[in-house]
Structure 1
Amino acid sequence: MPKYEITLEKATCDGIFACLTRDPRFVEDDDGLATIDPDADPVYDATGEESVRLEDGRIVATFDDDRLAETRQAAKACPVNAIDVQEVGE
């Protein structure tokens, strides 16, 4: 399975939440904008290998699972292009 990194630009996010309907790991944060929570999806068991961190105002998350297509759909649905998804290895 591919390892991939999601970058969510908090300053760009408008809180439209189109991403939430495509990938349930995207959730509303206390500030009214999107964030990433690997435990938010009750159907999916997080493996503990996930990494979610804040870097310079961006949420950066790394996953190694079979949900890359869902994450890409969430990024594509974002009308302000606040989400970037990159494969970073196998």
Structure 2
Amino acid sequence: MTTYEVTLKKDPCDGIFACLTRDPRFIEDDDGLATIDPDGDPVYDGDGEVREVDGDVIATFDDDRIEEARQAAAACPTNAIVVEEVDP
């Protein structure tokens, strides 16, 4: 398994939601933009940690779904999503 961080920079996010179709952990937030919610994915059973730092949403996962997160980042037209492997 890989430990990785997904950072969603809220400022450049424009609510196109291309990420939602690539990774179901991305959902629409109350502000009309994307956010990350591991519980929003009915098949996710891991222990994702989500926190907010300076308005950005940062989620840490330890599972085998990094490719889904990378696909969501690649689909984002504003480059608001960054996926990085981290040390556990």
- Shorter-normalised TM-score: what interval? over 0.9
Aligned identity (percent) is: 70
Tell me how far apart the structure 2 counterparts of residues 43 and 86 of structure 1 sit (CA, whole Å). Answer: 22
After TM superposition, where is structure 1 displaced by more than 3 Å over at least 4 residues in a row? none
Query: Shift of the alpha carbon at 1:50?
Result: 1.6
Equivalent pairs, count: 88
Which structure 2 residue ranges, 5 or more long, are not aligned? Answer: none
Residue 69 of structure 2 aligns to a residue in which SS? Answer: helix
Matched, 1:78 2:76: yes
Which structure 1 residue ranges, 5 or more long, are not aligned? Answer: none
Q: Map 1:22-61 to 2 at 5 A.
A: 22-45=22-45, 47=46, 49-61=47-59
Name the Cα RMSD after superposition.
Answer: 0.9
Q: TM-score, normalised by structure 2?
A: 0.96
Q: TM-score, normalised by structure 1?
A: 0.94
